[in-house]
Amino acid sequence: MRGPHNIIRLIRTGATLERTGAMRVIMDAFEVGPLLRGVVRGVVWPFKWLGYKGDVTMPPAPRALTALGPAYIKFGQVLSTRPDVVGNEMATQLRVLQDKLPPFSLAEARAEVRRELGVEVEDVFSSFSDPVAAASLAQVHKATLAATGEDVAVKILRPGIERAFRRDIDAFYFAARFVEVLSPASRRLKPMDVITHFEGVVMGELDLRLESSAAAEFAANTENDAGFHVPRIRWDLSGRRVMTLDWAEGIGAGDIDALDAAGLDRKAIADRVLTLFLNHALRDGFFHGDMHQGNLKIRADGTIIAYDFGIMGRIDSYTRRVYAEILFGFIRQDYQRVAEVHFEAGYVPADKDVDEFARALRAVGEPIFGMDASRISMARLLSYLFEVTERFGMETRTELILLQRTMVVVEGVARTLDPNMNIWQSAKPVVTDYVSKSIGPRALLDDLRRTAIILARFGPQLPRLAEEALIRLNNPPPPPRPQRRIARISWAALGATIVGLLWLAESIL
């Protein structure tokens, strides 16, 4: 699949951007210089006739991305939350990609329910509306349960979406390999690994059984979070291509005029969006990975309702501690400690200079503090961060891609609600609380307690393990002469470790 035929797909991408007028809009948004602008358009223009026409009633950028397919639409959704990067006008245009795409027919939706659930719509629902939201991968209908009269949302995947998305991913893989061959310097960014990660995330989004499971876990984790709600899943009416959950009534997080008309405090909501995300990522290690405005509603009392759980992120406890300590260092403006954490975690090669890296981080962090968000150019900040990572040989951490991307999206949502928001001031209480609980004496005692519990599970096997270790210690295989002393030290260390673990288990339990 990932052969040269994808060249046509990539050429058509550029041609579509040119034909729809999106090429000029995008270059204007990113302030592309006249020389590069002329080169790019000179290469693409001869192939303009290959581009998709798209919906002429839409603005250029969403028109092009919609015509190109679901993977491109996903990219546009992320950009729609970053007015500080692409400008307010383009961000507003791209926002239609979140939940206002052309729907598929009601007849097709009913047929999908019949195929997936094995029931007729009329037998289960007393009412079944036209689509109320249509996104890149699925659309949603409002329905009423015939048995109870409760309102529910029925999410249905677009017919043929799996094949269409695989086609886009196939072209992305080809492009990534092409970049790696032509630009060896790009290999540190692991473009192939990035696309593999992206494919795994989105293919999981195409199985609504996984989304239902994620929603249930997320609801359990956040049930005590004030001002936050996750709708309940209706398992008996959910499957691979259809998912049913409680109806969420509220104002879309992107509808600023409606929020103001309802008298809601946008600054408080913006702060809550950011702090909730940080709590979910740091406290639970399980967070909503697609928190754009189209997936959030606001109740009349200010409660945030989240839905669309196809993309969820998970990070282990060690990574959470590293991430929190890096954020904490930036908040305290302790760039030396931030640099040391990067080296300790292996994010920066050990042969680099930690002090020089700390100075580079200071140049990134200092402009943030003491400024309104409206005065910070996030585009320039991200550009400089890229230069720093390239200079110090940092490799792309594929396990952190979703966390980093979601942080960008959440910050964009918060700043749309409150353009003058200072993300560091809002993040400080959450990060400080997490660091105090995860780093220090209390955290060490908690780690020891969990270690003792794990040792207790292996209690019945400890005598056998100790006996086998002693047998090997008394009858070691004859190592090469230069290594004999090292072998004796290794066996002695193993014995001491076992004795130490037994003592630790006894003393704690």
Contacts of 161 (CB under 8 A, 6+ apart): 70, 137, 138, 206
The reply to whether 290 belongs to the active site is: yes
User: How are beta strands 125-134 and 138-145 bridged, if at all?
Assistant: antiparallel
Nearest CA to 472 out of 497, 491, 489 is that of: 491
In DSSP notation, 429-473 reads HHHHHHHHHHSSHHHHHHHHHHHHHHHHHTGGGHHHHHHHHHHHH
Tokens matching residue 91: 């961000």
> How many C-alpha atoms does 216 have within 13 Å on its Cβ side?
12
> CA 400, 402, 406: angle at the middle one, nearest 5?
120
Cβ neighbours, 10 Å, residue 209: 14
Q: Annotated catalytic residue: which of 84, 99, 170, 290? A: 290
Q: Are 364 and 274 in contact (CB under 8 A)?
A: no
> For residue 221, what is the DSSP state?
H
If we measure between CA atoms, which residue out of 427, 403, 423, 401 comes closest to residue 412?
423
Helix (H) or strand (E) holding 306: strand 304-306
Other Cβ atoms within 10 Å of 51 Cβ, number: 23
Residue 43, CA distances (Å) to 22, 36, 123, 402 in order:
15, 11, 57, 33
* Gyration radius of the chain's alpha carbons: 27
Question: Rounded to 10 degrees, what is the CA torsion of 309, 313, 316, 319?
Answer: -150
DSSP state letters, 353-410: -HHHHHHHHHHHHGGGTTS-GGG--HHHHHHHHHHHHHHTTPPP-GGGHHHHHHHHHH
CA-to-CA distance for 376 and 368, rounded, in angstroms?
7
214: its two tokens? 């994620």
Q: Are 220 and 295 in contact (CB under 8 A)?
A: no
- Rounded CA separation 243/216 (Å): 12
Residue keyed to tokens 């790019």 = 40
Residue 123 CA to residue 126 CA, distance in Å, equals: 8
Q: Which residues are the active-site residues? A: 290
